[in-house]
Structure 1
Amino acid sequence: MGDNSNDLCETLALQLAEVEMLASMYANDGELAMDDPTAVPDIQSFIDGNSEYSQLHSRIRFTLKLHVGDASKNELEVTCNLSHEYPRTVPDIFLRCTQLSRIEHQRLCEKLALYIAELDRDEICLGSIMQWLQEHTEDHIKVSQTEVAHHKPTNTQQPRTENIFCRMWIYSHHIYNKVKRKDILEYAHDLQLTGFCVPGKPGMVVIEGLNQNVEDFWQRIRRMTWKRIVMKEKQDQEIADGKTVDDYRKFEGFEEKWFEPRQVKGRRGAHMDRGMLFQYLDEHGFGYIFPIYFEVSGKQADDPVSD
């Protein structure tokens, strides 16, 4: 890889140094949890020249629990997902906080995105991001608490998003990348979503679960680099009294499904066998989705780029 290999070693070395710094800053039990404990030694092995880049499938991904404000109960979970090119690329940051309303969560995420965009590239920034979150999250929690205190339900009240079951159908030009496929599986597991992912060309992702978790999943994967990714269909249903989200699921767990002829299964460039896909959908009561899914119309993610 020549100079590119040296550049990559530099960025990865910065990542390891930053993770070590954060681990020393947030050293209490349960504060910082690595998603894949083998990522650090795998990356270190590559930096030391003991493995090839083609063997490096691990990436740094961790969750940090921040206590914000004076109240120790105000806990913000910050999930950081780093590409191998970080800090030359921006980190993927995902926030979860039970004390934030949906609107205030969105506002905090938007402000954070603007803050990150203003930071200098080529410099590590996770420490600065954590400090910014500790300084700004409490204000949004207070607004959320005020909203609850003054909330007056009416007959015209819209269903709360946590009481909405959602199923989303996502189309991609193709899904081959092993890291993307691993992330899709992990995101679905983290967010307690069921459904399936179809690698190959075209690619397909179907997810179902609580509305907020489904939306979180969509926001996460649309930020990856794609040639084209489109939300084809979104189905919402209010969860009835006495029911749970599990009563509305049509799939058990989340897994990869292959719909390719046996002789070409897994071969890059091979096209999906749409007949096999239709049969699978029809067995689950979704045969009607097939023509919707393969039409041009759909909600496309912003600014898709080549994979």
Structure 2
Amino acid sequence: MTASVIECLELQLLEVEMMYSMFPNKGEFCLEDANALRRVKSYLKNPTGPLPPRIGFVVMVTDYQGDVELQVGFPHNYPNVKLQLFGRSYYLDRKQQLLLNQDLTAYISTFDAGELCVCAAVQWLRDNSGPYFRKSKLFTEPVAKVKIVKVMFHRMWIYSHQICRPELRKRIWDCAKRLSLTGFFLTGKPGIICVEGKKEQCEEFWHTIRYPNWKHISCKHAETVQVEGNGDELRIFQTFEELQFESHGNFRHDYHMDLGKFLEYLKQHKSEHIFQMLFGIESKSSGR
């Protein structure tokens, strides 16, 4: 029981960390008890005595038609048990608020035990809250005006000591495709991943592949630019692909990659400067 609770609390801290990353502005993410995180961390260092207080927080999910306060309370055994969420909005009448929460609960119930789901719940509200606002008796059609849509375009460069197992490669591929990200992953030793697209999709990718059991992985560099439109003009990769640059020997036996070939690939995509960030060594330029 204790071991299970400890694992759950560790995952809860990781999800809170992700919330802070996704909602950095004041008022967007608020803990119900600021001491809860400190007491959970203290318990994990010395897991004796009574359990720490449960972590609870509110996330403000913004839609141009209205805002939804998503109230979250972590049971000690989450994510091994289902999570109870509740969305509240001054822009929704009682009926539409009830329907929204029923549909949100139905969506969350599709997640398996052990899966973190708050990030997915936030994205579901962003994608699906509009119809509930429009059907609400409290809804007022916004004044027509030209709205300039801005997005945060993001690119992440991720390093791992290796990417070899077929199931891991499939997980990376499927996640990037599902989130409409472009970039690549370099199979073998070392393993390199680059993803680019909307910031929230990149962060969801990072969250999905990193947790809960990939230990030797780190984001070496990240780039964020706020742009009008969808940011597609900033992409340096047109698709998402798997790369294999075999060194000597058979890839199936030694897995080591030819970093010279990888550097040439980066040069072709005007990303040679990343080489030193990933490996801590300078690439040889043509001028030397």
Using structure 2 for the length normalisation, give the TM-score. Answer: 0.49
